[in-house]
Structure 1
Amino acid sequence: MLLKKISESFQKHSKRNAFCIDNTYYTYQQLAFAVSKIRKRLEMEALRGQKLVGIIAFESNDFYTYAAIYGSLFTGIGYVPINPDNPIERNNSIIQQTGLTTILTSKVDNLVKALVEANNLAVIVTSELPEVEIDYSCPTEKEDDTAYVLFTSGSTGVPKGVPISQKNFTAFIDAFFALGYTIDENDRFVQMFDLTFDFSVVCYIAPLVIGACIYPIRSGGIKYVSVYTTFEEHQITFACMVPVTISYLRPFFSEILFPKLKYTLFCGEPLYYDIALEWLKCTPNGKVINAYGPTEATVFCMVYDFDPEKGKTKSFNGVVAIGKEMDNMKAIIVDEHNDPLPQNEKGELCLSGPQVTPGYWKNDEKNYKSFFTLSTNGREEIFYRTGDLGTIDKDGDFFYLGRIDFQVKIQGFRVELGEIEYHVRNFTNIGNVVALPTQNKLGTTQLHLFLENYTGDFKEIGDYLATKIPVYMIPSSMSSIQLFPLNKNGKIDRKKLYELLTS
């Protein structure tokens, strides 16, 4: 039981540090006190039949926000993290879709007041609750109960909710520890993500299970500078990152050395072979893991250990393999008729197993499109369509080939944008490159290439591409911008690039 393990950590490691926030340490005992007083207050809500509670996620380094998350879990109430910096229309939609009546917040500012007034919410200010005795007991967990609900962007403009059940949540944590990483209470985990991004979950849950310390990084400022400083000053041993973070550190690789960093786990976007190889030199005693998984499959569900010394350097179009399924998960590649494809054939990557969400929040239409049943080994299994293009090799390792919607038709030919980006990276040695489709005045599709801080000759890129790909795949226009826009999860914001292109 997940909560039992965390409760045991509270007791066993009471004098050890659970968090280091802005160089202030909080012990497991202090965290247990904070969780208990929030839990005490939330139990009143549970008695009223409350199933979900909203949590205002001000910063990734707010102590009481984390305490609120643990407090809701120990009360048996699912939590819905809400970023107050998001557009109020989006947050109102999330609150209305989930039927929230109560929110937890460490402070009340104008953004919170606006949400409260617009949705008639009750407010619990977690930093002002009275002290209580520590409660180490665990609630009765039911597999189908909701642990949390995260919202992702929807094609209709309305965010879609992804509920993660207690079964999903526990299956992920169990599968994570089954990977066999050598970690214990002496390890130091970094947490650099917005709490509405599911990659943050492993950063603030897994350490508590083993009594380790969490080092959150403040959301503001120049992120990669804060990452470097935190790694250096606190001798971080376990880091989860999106690959674009090390792209910004890349110019300084020759000066970076993190001998204490044991594991760097990448997820959220493609990890490129060349930069993974260079990063290993910065972490001479560390391992690089490429993880894969959509929010709908609880954080991540596939991993590949990138280990040149053991010859484990598989890649496709320069993107490191995503490897094999974690415990009890199943991945397949299917065609447009949902028929499984053989090795080395390209198709949609689909997932099944205990980490897969029971379905989108109150969205039957989306569920119908996103899930299907397949008979395998004599039994019916429900699969989730990831929308990702993939393939599998003879060893059972999977490869991420890009989004299916990143495939475009040019002059009747199907074009994978990732292939173009791969060749441009090879030629320019620039990490951040994005090819996007656009419509010309005649209404036909053509390609535009964005490069980050490129000072060379665009014609040379075109000439090089002409030796590598068919002429219809060569972008008809190119431009350089100093810094690519990033979304709140630290990924390249393709939507913003589209807006730049159309403007």
Structure 2
Amino acid sequence: MTTALNHRLGGGFLHHAALLPDHVALTAQGRDVTYAEAADTARRWATLLVEAVGRRPRRVAVFAQRSVTSYLGVAAPLLAGAAFVPLNRKYPRERTLTMLERAEVDAVLADAASLPQLPELLRSLPRRPIVLLPDTLRADAPDLGDARVLDAADLAAATAMDRFPEVSSQDPAYLLFTSGSTGAPKGVPVTHANVRAFLDANQDRYALTPDDRLTQTFEQTFDLSVFDLFMAWEHGARVCAMDPLELLAPFKYLERNQITVWFSVPSVAAVLRRRGVLKPGTMPTLRWSLFCGEALPRAAAEDWQTAAPNSVVENLYGPTELTIACTVHRWDPRTSPAQCVHDNVPIGRPYPGLHPLVVDEELAPVPDGGTGELCMAGPQTAPGYWRAPELTAERFFERDGRTYYRTGDLVRLQDGEFVCLGRNDQQVKIGGHRVELGEIEAVLRRAGAAEAVCLLWPDTQTVSAVVSGANAPDALSDACAAGLPAYMVPRSVHVVDAMPVNANGKVDRPALRRLLDERSGNS
């Protein structure tokens, strides 16, 4: 073991605990947690993880949500030399079980609110992981079968780890599961080197200090949450976890907590704009306003800039496979509106050290100014999909000594920056979440539909399904609700006798849209 932590995620967290012990690292659940308390807690949990597993753990599931346990729960596995695997109690049991099975975790760290779901999950696993209950006593926990349980008392009595297991820069820092077209989530292992490259590029850009306070608006199963936690903790700043309800009217929260860095999906800004509450000067404390996860509408950027006049507004873009974000556009009220395409803000220029490549369907480069699929290589490129070599071969390729990831996004280089023109496949963004429509279709077919086609209708944030060979749309909707996260459940299910096809024998999606328009009276 070694105390060398400079190359791995979490090293700055301990550095600032020693440098600024009384500085607040986390505000969550009405509590302020100092760096000294946060580091001591995470180090105790790390000690128990290593002792209980009997070696450096490989992967630790964090089955917790928007709690002190959930946030410090990602720090403890990192200090123990493990990758953290975020889970979400809002997800259906089968989906969570699939993630646990595929990740083959050594331990599960659960908060009290998520604990009721754990017994059934453990019973379904072929191998019982160790269970850590940081905020629960064993006597208050449900029956967890033959799993070894370490409770709040064990954790309080543990010795804080001071020598940390060796970790390679190429070891995974976290394993995140995203939507998969086969009907099951796919894992993306993101290495310490990937995250370090991302954090360093962003610190060069944003120059955060211990005086900064960052929002945490994301679920931890959304990789954008990593930005908030570790951009704060690597630089001695405070991260403030917002309740989802506070996003509907964030202004008092921002003022009360003196927030300087805002980060959310663009739909939050779009909703606030539609409600007419982005009044001039309502967010004066912000110095950075960052958006990522979906297209940023021009009007939302304009109104947010007016509401946060001391803030620089930026649009970030990037899939999980390229570590959180890989391009960025800085909004300029004088020039950016003219650069927008389809009324969306450009996705901008690549981060330093990244190599973009725009290709056609045969992976041949397109001329500058031409439209093609954006591919990216560089230190932020993940090593591939978790134990899925065939899928990795589909989405990653080698060229000129570099490994490129195919984003599936169509872009065009315009005035030295990329603009995004949409998807070239069935992958869409709903509320900032990347969704494979094929995964929803697979659930519908398993539930009894002969054919199933999902599409965005009647707007770009609503999934609707068209099925054939089924007469019970309500049952299909119930199956989706039972097997998918809420944001993936179709708003409506429509039954047709047969799917329309085009000249190539493929499902005619434009014809399906026209059919839905006719049925709704919008034709």
TM-score when normalising by structure 1 = 0.78
Aligned partner of residue 308 in structure 1, secondary structure: coil
Deviation, 1:332, is 1.5
**Counterpart residue type for residue 303 of structure 1:** V
1:67 aligned residue: 72
- Structure 1 vs Structure 2 CA RMSD: 3.0
Deviation, 1:53, is 1.2
Q: Distance in 1 between matches of 2:13 and 2:460?
A: 45
Q: Distance in 2 between matches of 1:331 and 1:310?
A: 24
Change (3 A) 1:260 1:447: closer
Change (3 A) 1:448 1:18: closer
Q: Distance in 2 between matches of 1:499 and 1:229?
A: 40
| Mapped pair 1:205 → 2:230 | yes
2:47·2:159 contact (CA, 8 Å) conserved in 1? no
1:321 aligned residue: 346
1:115 aligned residue: 121
Q: Distance in 2 between matches of 1:5 and 1:452?
A: 38
Q: Distance in 1 between matches of 2:455 and 2:175?
A: 39
| Mapped pair 1:496 → 2:490 | yes
2:405 aligned residue: 384
TM-score when normalising by structure 2 = 0.75
State which of 59, 68, 90 in structure 1 corresponds to 2:95. 90
2:28 aligned residue: 21
State which of 166, 174, 186 in structure 1 corresponds to 2:200. 174
Aligned partner of residue 156 in structure 2, secondary structure: coil
| Mapped pair 1:81 → 2:81 | no
Aligned partner of residue 126 in structure 1, secondary structure: coil
Q: Distance in 2 between matches of 1:497 and 1:357?
A: 33
Q: Distance in 2 between matches of 1:34 and 1:382?
A: 39
**Counterpart residue type for residue 413 of structure 2:** I
Q: Distance in 1 between matches of 2:456 and 2:219?
A: 32
Change (3 A) 1:125 1:259: same
Deviation, 1:97, is 1.0
Q: Distance in 1 between matches of 2:487 and 2:357?
A: 28
| Mapped pair 1:287 → 2:312 | yes
Aligned partner of residue 295 in structure 2, secondary structure: coil
**Counterpart residue type for residue 79 of structure 1:** F
Deviation, 1:178, is 2.0
Q: Distance in 1 between matches of 2:454 and 2:20?
A: 60
Change (3 A) 1:359 1:45: farther
1:391·1:398 contact (CA, 8 Å) conserved in 2? yes
Q: Which structure 2 segments of 5+ residues have no match?
A: 1-5, 136-151, 430-436, 438-451, 463-480, 495-512
Deviation, 1:450, is 3.4
2:458 aligned residue: 449
1:411 aligned residue: none
Q: Kindly provide the CA deviation profile for residues 251-273 of structure 1, in whole angstroms up to 9, marking residues without a partner as x.
A: 21127611110001100000011
1:7·1:136 contact (CA, 8 Å) conserved in 2? no
Change (3 A) 1:131 1:212: farther
Deviation, 1:194, is 0.6
Deviation, 1:91, is 0.9
Deviation, 1:216, is 0.2
2:280·2:308 contact (CA, 8 Å) conserved in 1? no
Q: Any residues of structure 2 matched to 1:89-488 within 5 Å, and which?
A: 89-107=94-112, 109-119=115-125, 120-127=128-135, 128=152, 129-135=155-161, 137-179=163-205, 181-219=206-244, 222=245, 224-225=247-248, 227-250=250-273, 251-254=276-279, 257-309=282-334, 314-375=339-400, 380-393=401-414, 395-405=415-425, 449-450=458-459
**Counterpart residue type for residue 141 of structure 1:** V
Q: Distance in 2 between matches of 1:144 and 1:362?
A: 16
2:57 aligned residue: 50
**Counterpart residue type for residue 383 of structure 1:** Y
Aligned partner of residue 185 in structure 1, secondary structure: coil
Aligned partner of residue 173 in structure 1, secondary structure: helix
Q: Distance in 2 between matches of 1:301 and 1:151?
A: 19
1:72·1:78 contact (CA, 8 Å) conserved in 2? yes
2:376·2:406 contact (CA, 8 Å) conserved in 1? yes
1:79·1:148 contact (CA, 8 Å) conserved in 2? yes
Change (3 A) 1:226 1:10: farther
Deviation, 1:134, is 4.3
349-358 vs 309-318, which moves further: 309-318
Q: Percent of aligned positions with the same letter in both sequences? A: 29
Q: Distance in 2 between matches of 1:45 and 1:397?
A: 51
Aligned partner of residue 124 in structure 2, secondary structure: helix
2:62·2:74 contact (CA, 8 Å) conserved in 1? yes
Aligned partner of residue 361 in structure 2, secondary structure: coil
**Counterpart residue type for residue 410 of structure 2:** L
Q: Which structure 1 segments of 5+ residues have no match?
A: 408-416, 419-435, 437-442, 454-486
Deviation, 1:404, is 1.3
1:144·1:166 contact (CA, 8 Å) conserved in 2? yes
2:17 aligned residue: 10
96-105 vs 77-86, which moves further: 96-105
1:428 aligned residue: none
Q: Kindly provide the CA deviation profile for residues 276-329 of structure 1, in whole angstroms up to 9, marking residues without a partner as x.
A: 011100001001000000001111111111122566862111111111111211
